[in-house]
Amino acid sequence: MTKALSEAEKKQRKEDRRKSQQQKPPSTTVETVTQPKPEEPPAQPVSLCDDCAYEVMECEGSPKFASDQDETLTGSEADRVIECPAFVNVAEMPTAQETRQGAAPGPAAPEGEARVCDREGGPTEDQVIRTDLPQRPDPKRFNKEEDLGTCQSCERSLKRTALNRYQDAVRCTNPRCRAYRAIVRHLSTGVK
Protein backbone atom coordinates (compact mmCIF):
# COMPACT_ATOMS: atom_id res chain seq x y z
CA MET A 1 0.00 0.00 0.00
CA THR A 2 1.15 3.52 -0.77
CA LYS A 3 1.53 6.27 1.74
CA ALA A 4 -0.83 9.22 1.40
CA LEU A 5 0.79 12.44 0.23
CA SER A 6 1.03 15.36 2.56
CA GLU A 7 -0.33 18.79 1.69
CA ALA A 8 3.17 20.12 0.93
CA GLU A 9 3.91 17.20 -1.43
CA LYS A 10 0.59 17.69 -3.24
CA LYS A 11 1.34 21.39 -3.77
CA GLN A 12 4.86 20.57 -4.99
CA ARG A 13 3.59 18.01 -7.55
CA LYS A 14 0.90 20.41 -8.74
CA GLU A 15 3.50 23.14 -9.22
CA ASP A 16 5.85 20.74 -11.09
CA ARG A 17 3.01 19.61 -13.42
CA ARG A 18 2.07 23.23 -14.18
CA LYS A 19 5.69 24.14 -14.99
CA SER A 20 6.16 21.13 -17.29
CA GLN A 21 3.04 22.05 -19.29
CA GLN A 22 4.00 25.70 -19.58
CA GLN A 23 5.59 26.90 -22.83
CA LYS A 24 9.20 27.85 -22.43
CA PRO A 25 10.42 31.11 -23.98
CA PRO A 26 12.95 30.78 -26.79
CA SER A 27 16.52 30.60 -25.68
CA THR A 28 18.49 33.81 -25.93
CA THR A 29 21.76 31.96 -26.57
CA VAL A 30 20.68 30.43 -29.89
CA GLU A 31 22.04 32.10 -33.00
CA THR A 32 20.61 31.75 -36.49
CA VAL A 33 23.10 29.96 -38.68
CA THR A 34 22.81 30.22 -42.43
CA GLN A 35 24.36 27.56 -44.58
CA PRO A 36 26.20 28.80 -47.61
CA LYS A 37 24.72 27.71 -50.92
CA PRO A 38 26.84 25.23 -52.80
CA GLU A 39 28.60 26.70 -55.77
CA GLU A 40 26.92 25.77 -59.02
CA PRO A 41 29.15 24.15 -61.61
CA PRO A 42 29.64 26.16 -64.75
CA ALA A 43 26.74 25.77 -67.18
CA GLN A 44 27.27 22.94 -69.66
CA PRO A 45 26.44 23.71 -73.27
CA VAL A 46 23.11 22.13 -74.17
CA SER A 47 22.36 20.06 -77.24
CA LEU A 48 19.58 21.37 -79.49
CA CYS A 49 17.96 17.92 -79.37
CA ASP A 50 17.25 18.46 -75.64
CA ASP A 51 14.95 21.41 -76.38
CA CYS A 52 13.51 20.17 -79.68
CA ALA A 53 9.86 19.13 -80.11
CA TYR A 54 10.85 16.07 -82.16
CA GLU A 55 12.22 12.82 -80.79
CA VAL A 56 16.01 12.58 -80.74
CA MET A 57 17.35 11.85 -84.22
CA GLU A 58 13.88 11.08 -85.64
CA CYS A 59 13.27 14.48 -87.18
CA GLU A 60 14.94 13.62 -90.51
CA GLY A 61 17.04 16.77 -90.16
CA SER A 62 20.75 16.93 -90.88
CA PRO A 63 22.26 18.06 -87.55
CA LYS A 64 25.73 19.52 -87.15
CA PHE A 65 27.65 18.27 -84.12
CA ALA A 66 30.20 20.08 -81.98
CA SER A 67 32.84 17.59 -83.12
CA ASP A 68 32.39 18.91 -86.67
CA GLN A 69 33.78 22.29 -85.57
CA ASP A 70 36.33 21.12 -83.00
CA GLU A 71 37.76 17.65 -83.62
CA THR A 72 39.54 17.60 -80.26
CA LEU A 73 36.24 17.18 -78.38
CA THR A 74 35.38 13.72 -77.07
CA GLY A 75 32.48 11.96 -75.35
CA SER A 76 29.16 13.68 -74.78
CA GLU A 77 30.70 17.05 -75.58
CA ALA A 78 31.46 15.87 -79.13
CA ASP A 79 27.92 14.46 -79.58
CA ARG A 80 26.26 17.78 -78.76
CA VAL A 81 24.07 19.10 -81.62
CA ILE A 82 24.83 22.76 -82.27
CA GLU A 83 22.83 23.35 -85.46
CA CYS A 84 19.85 21.59 -87.09
CA PRO A 85 17.49 22.87 -89.80
CA ALA A 86 14.54 20.84 -88.40
CA PHE A 87 14.88 22.29 -84.86
CA VAL A 88 11.55 23.35 -83.27
CA ASN A 89 11.89 24.91 -79.82
CA VAL A 90 9.41 23.38 -77.36
CA ALA A 91 9.53 26.46 -75.10
CA GLU A 92 8.20 28.69 -77.91
CA MET A 93 5.29 26.41 -78.84
CA PRO A 94 1.83 27.54 -77.66
CA THR A 95 0.13 25.60 -74.91
CA ALA A 96 -3.25 23.94 -75.45
CA GLN A 97 -4.97 26.76 -73.59
CA GLU A 98 -3.29 29.42 -75.73
CA THR A 99 -4.29 27.52 -78.87
CA ARG A 100 -7.93 27.39 -77.75
CA GLN A 101 -7.99 31.13 -76.97
CA GLY A 102 -6.63 32.33 -80.29
CA ALA A 103 -6.59 31.04 -83.81
CA ALA A 104 -3.46 29.31 -84.99
CA PRO A 105 -1.20 31.48 -87.14
CA GLY A 106 -1.12 30.85 -90.86
CA PRO A 107 -3.49 31.12 -93.80
CA ALA A 108 -7.13 30.46 -93.02
CA ALA A 109 -8.74 27.41 -94.59
CA PRO A 110 -11.95 27.78 -96.59
CA GLU A 111 -15.22 26.92 -94.82
CA GLY A 112 -15.58 23.17 -94.41
CA GLU A 113 -11.85 22.40 -94.72
CA ALA A 114 -9.01 22.07 -92.25
CA ARG A 115 -5.40 22.26 -93.29
CA VAL A 116 -2.78 19.91 -91.94
CA CYS A 117 0.66 21.49 -91.63
CA ASP A 118 3.93 19.84 -92.50
CA ARG A 119 6.93 19.94 -90.17
CA GLU A 120 8.04 23.39 -91.26
CA GLY A 121 4.61 24.75 -90.34
CA GLY A 122 3.21 25.44 -93.80
CA PRO A 123 0.05 23.79 -95.09
CA THR A 124 0.34 21.79 -98.27
CA GLU A 125 -2.40 21.30 -100.85
CA ASP A 126 -2.47 17.50 -100.64
CA GLN A 127 -2.98 17.60 -96.86
CA VAL A 128 -6.45 19.16 -96.75
CA ILE A 129 -9.04 17.34 -94.64
CA ARG A 130 -12.76 17.87 -95.12
CA THR A 131 -14.44 18.89 -91.85
CA ASP A 132 -17.99 19.51 -93.10
CA LEU A 133 -18.65 15.76 -93.22
CA PRO A 134 -20.00 14.26 -89.99
CA GLN A 135 -17.33 12.29 -88.17
CA ARG A 136 -19.86 10.30 -86.11
CA PRO A 137 -23.37 9.14 -86.89
CA ASP A 138 -26.20 11.30 -85.56
CA PRO A 139 -27.61 9.62 -82.41
CA LYS A 140 -31.05 11.22 -83.05
CA ARG A 141 -31.61 8.98 -86.07
CA PHE A 142 -33.17 6.36 -83.76
CA ASN A 143 -35.82 8.83 -82.52
CA LYS A 144 -37.24 9.51 -85.99
CA GLU A 145 -40.57 7.93 -86.87
CA GLU A 146 -39.85 5.67 -89.83
CA ASP A 147 -41.98 2.98 -91.38
CA LEU A 148 -39.47 0.15 -91.80
CA GLY A 149 -42.04 -2.57 -92.42
CA THR A 150 -43.11 -5.52 -90.29
CA CYS A 151 -41.40 -8.74 -89.26
CA GLN A 152 -42.35 -11.72 -91.45
CA SER A 153 -42.54 -14.04 -88.43
CA CYS A 154 -44.33 -12.06 -85.73
CA GLU A 155 -45.93 -9.23 -87.75
CA ARG A 156 -44.54 -6.56 -85.37
CA SER A 157 -42.88 -3.38 -86.66
CA LEU A 158 -39.14 -3.45 -87.34
CA LYS A 159 -36.67 -1.10 -85.62
CA ARG A 160 -33.45 0.58 -86.67
CA THR A 161 -30.45 -0.54 -84.59
CA ALA A 162 -26.76 0.35 -84.76
CA LEU A 163 -24.55 -2.04 -86.68
CA ASN A 164 -21.31 -0.10 -87.27
CA ARG A 165 -20.13 3.44 -87.98
CA TYR A 166 -21.36 3.44 -91.56
CA GLN A 167 -24.43 1.22 -91.49
CA ASP A 168 -27.49 0.62 -89.34
CA ALA A 169 -29.48 -2.61 -89.40
CA VAL A 170 -33.25 -3.06 -89.58
CA ARG A 171 -34.18 -5.85 -87.15
CA CYS A 172 -37.06 -7.40 -85.25
CA THR A 173 -36.75 -6.52 -81.56
CA ASN A 174 -39.40 -8.95 -80.22
CA PRO A 175 -37.48 -11.35 -77.94
CA ARG A 176 -40.06 -14.12 -78.48
CA CYS A 177 -39.79 -13.99 -82.27
CA ARG A 178 -37.74 -16.67 -84.03
CA ALA A 179 -36.27 -13.93 -86.27
CA TYR A 180 -35.23 -11.89 -83.20
CA ARG A 181 -32.25 -9.70 -84.09
CA ALA A 182 -31.99 -11.14 -87.58
CA ILE A 183 -30.94 -8.39 -90.01
CA VAL A 184 -33.66 -7.67 -92.56
CA ARG A 185 -31.78 -4.92 -94.41
CA HIS A 186 -29.10 -2.22 -93.97
CA LEU A 187 -29.49 1.58 -93.81
CA SER A 188 -26.78 4.24 -94.11
CA THR A 189 -25.82 6.23 -90.98
CA GLY A 190 -24.87 9.28 -93.05
CA VAL A 191 -21.12 9.02 -92.36
CA LYS A 192 -18.93 8.70 -95.45
144 lies in the same domain as 184: yes
Task: Please give the Cα distance from 191 to 162 (Å, whole number).
Answer: 13
pLDDT of the residue at 111: 53
Q: Tell me the average pLDDT across 114-139.
A: 59
152 lies in the same domain as 180: yes
173 lies in the same domain as 148: yes
Listed in sequence order, the DSSP H helices in 41-128 are: 66-69, 96-101
In a domain, 122, yes or no: yes
pLDDT of the residue at 7: 92
Task: Please give the Cα distance from 100 to 95 (Å, whole number).
Answer: 9
180 lies in the same domain as 154: yes
In a domain, 6, yes or no: no
Please say whether the dihedral angle defined by the alpha carbons of residues 47, 52, 58 and 59, taken in this order, is positive or negative.
negative
Tens digits of residue pLDDT in 76-104: 788 888 888 888 888 888 887 777 776 54
Is residue 129 scored above 80 in pLDDT? Answer: no
In a domain, 20, yes or no: no
174 lies in the same domain as 153: yes
Tens digits of residue pLDDT in 4-56: 889 999 999 999 888 888 777 767 776 777 777 777 766 666 788 888 877 77
In a domain, 77, yes or no: yes
pLDDT of the residue at 43: 65
Question: What range does the domain containing 166 cover?
Answer: 139-188
In a domain, 31, yes or no: no
pLDDT of the residue at 8: 93
Task: Please give the Cα distance from 183 to 174 (Å, whole number).
Answer: 13
In a domain, 111, yes or no: yes
Total count of domains within the chain: 3
178 lies in the same domain as 151: yes
147 lies in the same domain as 176: yes
In a domain, 23, yes or no: no
User: Which residues make Cβ contacts (< 8 Å) with residue 65, sequence separation at least 6?
Assistant: 78, 79, 80, 81, 82
In a domain, 121, yes or no: yes
pLDDT of the residue at 11: 93
Q: Tell me the average pLDDT across 167-185.
A: 87
Tens digits of residue pLDDT in 159-175: 888 888 888 899 988 88
Please say whether the dihedral angle defined by the alpha carbons of residues 110, 111, 113 and 115, taken in this order, is positive or negative.
positive
